[in-house]
Amino acid sequence: MDNIEQLIDTLSKDAQAVKPAPHPFKLCLLWIAGGTVYLAAALALTGLRPDWAESFRNPLFVAEIIMLLGLFIVTALSASLLAFPDLHQKQRIAYAPLGQALLFLGVLILAWRADTPAAPLPEHSIECTASILLTMLLPAVWTLYSMRKFASTHSRVAGSVALLSAFSVGALWLRLHEVNDSILHVVEWHYVPAFGIGVLGLWLGKVLLKW
């Protein structure tokens, strides 16, 4: 008890005025704005797919892009809440990426079923995954670095969601840049690696978001 009293005494003497952390919604808006600027810059540098106007006439392609955008927004929002010890008392929103991922899966299944006759597979394969990983690097570092300033009590999930948010930026960029209509290829080399990224995020979160 004496030790506790002593600690309280020390901590209170050490207590200076503290600037409260920004609201998670503000934080999330900052990440979304940053991610959007980065995506726009990446597309400006590498170019939009030449058949973009035609692709946007395909409702399933549009749905896929909307789902990816949704995933980016929802994971950014979730990551911002997960950076706070009590999830800012908005638990339901923090776990919203699960619902968004299910919707995304639904759109992919629809696109797969509509892919008859199957579009020809492109010649490349792992290059797509590598490109997404390279593109997501900067947003991932930024998000994780920002999250370290807070105090996550769900560090593994927070790390995973942060990486998935960055991954969705990379995936969006590639879908808007590469001329490719093979849903099989897209699922295999664009989206399945997201599971690996999620697992890597669990570990990175544990290591980097420790406090």
Q: How far is the CB of 9 from other proteins (least distance, A)?
A: 7
| Nearest alpha carbon to residue 176 among 41, 74, 75 | 41
The contact mask relative to other proteins for 90-129 (x = CB under 8 A, - = no) is ----------------------------------------
Query: Which residue of 61, 72, 84, 191 would you call a contact of other proteins, by CB under 8 A?
Result: 84
7 is an interface residue for other proteins by CB under 8 A = yes
The contact mask relative to other proteins for 151-170 (x = CB under 8 A, - = no) is x-x-----------------
Is 169 in contact with 72 (CB distance < 8 Å)?
yes
Is 146 in contact with 79 (CB distance < 8 Å)?
no
| Nearest alpha carbon to residue 73 among 42, 33, 21, 124 | 33
60 Cβ contact list (under 8 Å, min separation 6): 107, 110, 111, 114
Q: How far is CA 207 from the centre of its chain?
A: 18
Q: How far is the CB of 83 from other proteins (least distance, A)?
A: 8
Q: Which residues bind other proteins (CB under 8 A)?
A: 1, 3-4, 7-9, 11-21, 23, 83-89, 150-151, 153, 211
